[in-house]
Amino acid sequence: MNKTLFFASLKANWKLWLGMFLVLLMYISMLIGMYDPENAKGMEAIVATLPPAIVSAFGFNAIGYDLTNHIGTYLYGFLFLIFPLIYTVTVSNKLIARHIDRGSMVYLLATPNTRKKIVLTQAAFLFSSIIALLILSIAMGLLVSEMMFPGMLDIDKYLLLNLVTVAVHLAICGIAFLASCIFSESKNSLMVGVGIPLIFLMFRMLSSVGDKLSGLKYLSLFSFIDVPKIFSNPGYAWWSSGLLLLMTIILLLISVRIFDKKSMNI
Amino acid sequence: MIKVQQLTQIYKSGKGIFDLNFEIKEGEVFGYLGPNGSGKTTTIRNIMGFANANEGRVTIRGLDCRKDTAELRKIIGYLPGEIAFFDNMTGFEFLKFVGDMHLMKSNERRDKLIDQFELETEGKIRKMSKGMKQKLGIIATFMIDPEIYILDEPTSGLDPFMQNEFMELVDKEKSRGKTIMMSSHIFEEVERSCDRAGIIREGRLVTIEDLKSLKAMKSREFIVTLNTKEDAQKLEKSGLETHAMGKRKIKVHVGENFDGFIKVLSALKVLNLDVQQRSLEDIFMTYYGKNGGQHE
């Protein structure tokens, strides 16, 4: 890994990172604050005012009403998916494809570093920054819960849910990074690197709307974040995370190889 | 030192470079001349190991330019033709970044170059003018003090004063024994400091010549404007190779016959005397004869 490049990437992307973190922090605090242990019906009342299709699309289907379920339902149905996703797809494209498209890749490749080292450094930045974003957000969720409702969060379940969520985000990261390595034009890299994760998200939302579309869930990585299943079956959380991590590693290895062999017109 | 062998890279459009063979010697300044779109940059992309050739290869001191890149980059300084930087950086941050990536030990050379080219390093790169960016690129290339320079159209965007400053820098590096390859579409730029030049056209190497022989090929033409029609007629009948461009404006192909030309002019009233700008096309024409029939 090349430290100079790592810090240059950090400098180019920290604002977006911070933005996403603050947005997540806001939603985490807001949604946890909305939990009312005395009168969970208040939440149900809000949900009841929304059209049923929207309620299920955003995963707001009530599945029991303790704090852990509340978080799982309202945060992990959409918000905790979309904001890290925005970070992932934007940064993935910027780290490789955009440099090739613009020609600034020259200034990375013309230095005494192998292509492998360059691409691995960029991957290291991408993965470590998304992991940092998620872990800090998860920690903030824990902190806010304990401050507002001490002892009410089932920490084991909460961590299992996040294990799967992090694993899904890493796999998505792998896809976006691969797209960035394959395509030499930013617009193509974005089309695939943003398109596939967005389609996954759309499929997940559509699949929970009605039975007709429920088959779509098999076409989306986000379906691994199956809150009731994770809470009732810890084994599922472990093996699905393992599977997703394996997938991430394979995607990363392919990305490195493609970048190493690629012919660039820069 | 730099050996290009059977190098072929064909793009989807059918353009590209075809079976290039040439060698650049250690300590030599090699000009690489060709019109826009002739394949200069494609050749350089292969020397730098950015692109994958369809056939052939480039080696530097026996090392493969596509595979042994990390090793070779320690001795090569590269100036891209179309410079794109990291636009969120300031000029200074960029130079520091490049220096760190190259593990540059001292900043002395960098700071001297900044002074010499009068570069303002404070502003964001994205707001710099084209000439300013070109200077920044030149400094980033020369500050690492490489053994080999690969320069793709290095003076484009520079004003004449800075062009001169740059050519002096090239001369200085040449005297320090550096090997330099410099591409250009302007003959004069190559003429000044190159030992030899290769001419590429439509992806094929037309010729490699000593600069002396190339200079001899330049068509020496002057455009003379005379005071009266009568003088113009006298000039046309003088036996020199002439071509009327207007009633009193005549192009004279002088060749080596400067003395004869001056003697004829001395008897006439000359209002203006211009040197005909020679383009690369003219040199091709000279090389292939007037009809250019052998171009393909």
ipTM: 0.83
Residue B78: per-residue pLDDT: 96
A266/B80 touch (CB, cutoff 8 Å), yes or no = yes
Residue B284: per-residue pLDDT: 65
Chain centre distance of CA A69:
20
Summarised one tens digit per residue, pLDDT across range A5-42 is 999 999 999 999 999 999 999 999 999 998 877 756 66
Q: CA quadruple B202, B207, B210, B214: dihedral positive or negative?
A: negative
Residues of B in contact with A110 (CB under 8 A): 48, 73, 76, 78
Residue B287: per-residue pLDDT: 60
Q: Pick from A46-50, B217-221, B280-284 the range whose average pLDDT is largest.
A: A46-50
Residue A57: per-residue pLDDT: 73
User: The tokens 């807001």 sit on which residue?
Assistant: A30
Q: What angle do CA B13, B14, B17 make, to 5 degrees?
A: 120
Summarised one tens digit per residue, pLDDT across range B6-31 is 999 999 999 999 999 999 999 999 99
What one-letter code names the amino acid at B4? V
Residue A66: per-residue pLDDT: 83
User: Which of A162, A70, A123, A151 is CA-nearest to residue A260?
Assistant: A123
What one-letter code names the amino acid at A148? M
Residues of A in contact with B87 (CB under 8 A): 104
A12/B103 touch (CB, cutoff 8 Å), yes or no = no
Parallel, antiparallel or unpaired: strands B29-33 and B179-184: parallel
- Model's pTM, two decimal places? 0.85
Q: CA quadruple B89, B92, B98, B99: dihedral positive or negative?
A: negative
- Checking if the pLDDT of B292 tops 50, the result is no
When pLDDT is cut at 50, 70 and 90, the band that residue B276 belongs to is confident
Mean pLDDT confidence for B204-217: 80
What is the DSSP-derived secondary structure letter of residue B90? B
Mean pLDDT confidence for A73-101: 94
B86/A12 touch (CB, cutoff 8 Å), yes or no = yes
Summarised one tens digit per residue, pLDDT across range A179-197 is 999 999 999 999 999 999 9
What percent of chain A shows pLDDT beyond 70?
A: 94
Summarised one tens digit per residue, pLDDT across range A214-251 is 888 888 999 999 988 999 899 999 999 999 999 999 99
Please tell me if residue A214 touches chain B, with a CB cutoff of 8 Å.
no
User: Which of A92, A87, A81 is CA-nearest to residue A20?
Assistant: A87
User: Which of A78, A84, A88, A258 is CA-nearest to residue A173?
Assistant: A88
What one-letter code names the amino acid at B15? K
- Checking if the pLDDT of B291 tops 50, the result is no
CA pair distance B245, B225, nearest whole angstrom: 9
Residues of A in contact with B50 (CB under 8 A): 106, 109, 263-266
What one-letter code names the amino acid at A161? L
What percent of chain A shows pLDDT beyond 90?
A: 73
Residue B295: per-residue pLDDT: 41
Q: What angle do CA A133, A134, A136 make, to 5 degrees?
A: 70
Residue A41: per-residue pLDDT: 62
Residues of B in contact with A106 (CB under 8 A): 50, 78, 80, 84
Could you count the other beta carbons within 10 Å of the beta carbon of residue A135?
12
